[in-house]
Amino acid sequence: MKAHIITIGDEILIGQIVDTNSAWIATQLHIHNIAVSQIRSISDQDDAILNALSDSQNQVDLVLITGGLGPTKDDITKQTAAKYFDTHLRRDQAVLQHVTQFFESRGRTMLEINRQQADVLEGCTVLFNQYGTAPGMLMKKESTTYIFMPGVPFEMKHLMNTQILPRLTQQDHTIFLSQENIIVGGIGESYLAEKIADIESELPASIKLAYLPTLTFVRLRLSGKGSDQEAITASTKYYAEQIIHRLADHVIANYDTTIEEFLIQKFIGLNLTLTTAESCTGGSLAAMITAIAGCSAMYVGGTIPYSNKLKQQLLGVREETLLQYGAVSEQTVIEMAEGAKKKFDTNYAISTSGIAGPGGGTIDKPVGTVWVAVAGERETITQKFQFQNDRTINIERTRQLALFMLWQLLVKEHQIGISL
């Protein structure tokens, strides 16, 4: 089964909001062996909606549409869909009763535009929305099924989980998808491609390899497609194992994850703790870690000693070190990391200090100069980086590389590796 995803809303096109709906829907469809061949964002315009619906007709089996089902004048999805399906809107009494109760329970007056939320496409299958006032709608046109959902993420997810995905799982699937993910660090995308070029050239037509780079890491995704589920799964895994063996020391994980998620789970499994001391990264490293559920089992917290005074007071950095070498130096980050580790009684500590920019650089230490230290159970490692003048990118690179260094030291001290 093949699918398209369409998100409707000018707010997406002008960057006012980020389209997280499409990513979540695509993930759920992949789990259910439904291949997404196109994701499209369009404006709240009659012709844009009509063109998008028409372009998908008979091209895929399923089209999932979010957005434009609200009660205001700019929400025109239902009216436009009625044109496309050559039908009209009818007021669904069960939905109207739900909307009425929705307003009464909140002590709010229901207006006519709120009643219009109960208007659905004649001939559609109504997908009841328990969490909001806009119902979903399922319509078929020739060989394509169209499903309209509200754009509010928690309402959309509720409909997907309770009504849409159960319907899809009941359908007979003749094509199966298989996916293997490999997270790689310490090697650039071009060098990586050259290193595994022969393996990539041997891939059968049923398996595709994608490179998904960040500023520091590369996710390799092998996607297989075939009519024999067992065979395509085994084949995809075989080529993943070949790549892992070839890349050896660069492979961080052989499943879909992030470096922070991976490290948190490893730290928890090894009963280890971590603290951070961030100067140039300003707490963004801690934010990456604490965004992951369960991190409290290994992360005790961190400091942001931006000034030299706080480096001394919070971490015990010596005044003579700062005077002789400066805040952005190997000597200072070592004392920061080791001081944080001792002060907060953790197994590991990360420290960062640098000139993120755009100002503040000197001839000896230009903008983009960064030092990172990681204090471990047996040693402290350091590295100097020389980035460019973009402050945001410099901070992002620093925090990603700091986590990569933490992984390197963890591998060295605890011999963690990939199990195939």
Rounded to two decimals, what is the model's pTM? 0.72
Of the three residues 109, 141, 169, the one that is the final residue of a domain is: 169
CA distance 42 to 67: 10
Cβ(209)–Cβ(203) under 8 Å?
yes
Which of helix, strand or coil describes residue 308? helix
Of the three residues 226, 253, 280, the one that is the final residue of a domain is: 253
Give yes or no: residues 161 and 233 share one domain.
no
Cβ(37)–Cβ(55) under 8 Å?
no
Q: Decide if 389 is inside a domain.
A: yes
Element (H, E) at 350: strand 348-354
CA distance 247 to 13: 39
Give yes or no: residues 211 and 319 share one domain.
no
pLDDT of residue 419: 61
Cβ(338)–Cβ(321) under 8 Å?
no
Q: Decide if 420 is inside a domain.
A: no
What is the amino acid identity at position 205?
Answer: A
To 10 degrees, what angle do helices 77-84 and 46-56 make?
Answer: 50
* Tokens 């092998």 belong to residue: 222
Give yes or no: residues 78 and 121 share one domain.
yes
Element (H, E) at 200: helix 197-201
Sheet hosting strand 125-127, strand order edge to edge: 35-42, 2-8, 62-66, 144-149, 136-141, 125-127
pLDDT of residue 30: 87
Give yes or no: residues 57 and 84 share one domain.
yes
How does pLDDT run along the chain (420 residues), one tens digit per residue? 899 999 999 999 999 989 999 999 999 998 888 889 999 999 999 999 999 999 999 999 999 999 988 877 778 999 999 999 999 999 999 999 988 988 888 888 888 888 888 999 999 999 989 888 889 999 999 999 999 999 999 999 999 999 998 888 776 567 788 899 999 999 988 999 999 999 999 999 999 999 988 888 999 999 998 989 899 999 999 999 999 999 988 999 999 899 999 999 999 999 999 999 999 999 999 999 999 999 999 999 999 999 999 999 999 999 999 999 999 999 999 999 999 999 999 999 999 999 988 888 788 889 899 999 999 999 999 999 999 878 999 999 999 999 999 999 999 999 887 765
For the chain, what is the total number of helices (H) and then of strands (E)?
Answer: 17, 17
Number of domains into which the chain is organized: 3
Q: Decide if 106 is inside a domain.
A: yes
pLDDT of residue 70: 81
pLDDT of residue 359: 81
pLDDT of residue 302: 97
Q: Provide the β-strand partners of residue 179.
A: 223
CA distance 372 to 401: 8
Supply φ then ψ for residue 126, to 5 degrees.
-80, 130
pLDDT of residue 109: 85
CA distance 274 to 393: 24
Give yes or no: residues 40 and 79 share one domain.
yes
pLDDT of residue 13: 92
CA distance 73 to 209: 45
Q: Decide if 91 is inside a domain.
A: yes
Domain region containing 132? 2-169
Give yes or no: residues 265 and 384 share one domain.
yes
Peptide bond before 358: cis, by omega within 30 degrees of 0?
yes
Give yes or no: residues 279 and 248 share one domain.
no
CA distance 333 to 309: 14
239: burial class by Cβ within 10 Å (0-12, 13-18, 19+)? buried
Give yes or no: residues 227 and 138 share one domain.
no
Both structure tokens of 103 = 């307003």
Q: Decide if 96 is inside a domain.
A: yes
Give yes or no: residues 235 and 284 share one domain.
no
pLDDT of residue 39: 97
* Tokens 């369009």 belong to residue: 42
pLDDT of residue 228: 92
CA distance 51 to 142: 16
What is the amino acid identity at position 301?
Answer: G
Give yes or no: residues 249 and 348 share one domain.
no
pLDDT of residue 75: 84
Give yes or no: residues 141 and 240 share one domain.
no
- Nearest CA to 410 out of 390, 381, 370 is that of 381
CA distance 353 to 350: 10
Q: Provide the β-strand partners of residue 146.
A: 63, 139
Count Cβ neighbours within 10 Å for each residue of 89-103 and write b for 16 or more, e otherwise. beebeebbebbeebe
Give yes or no: residues 32 and 101 share one domain.
yes
**CB-based contacts of 270: which residues, under 8 Å, 6+ apart?**
414, 416
Of the three residues 146, 169, 192, the one that is the final residue of a domain is: 169
Which of helix, strand or coil describes residue 32? coil
pLDDT of residue 171: 67
Supply φ then ψ for residue 63, to 5 degrees.
-130, 125
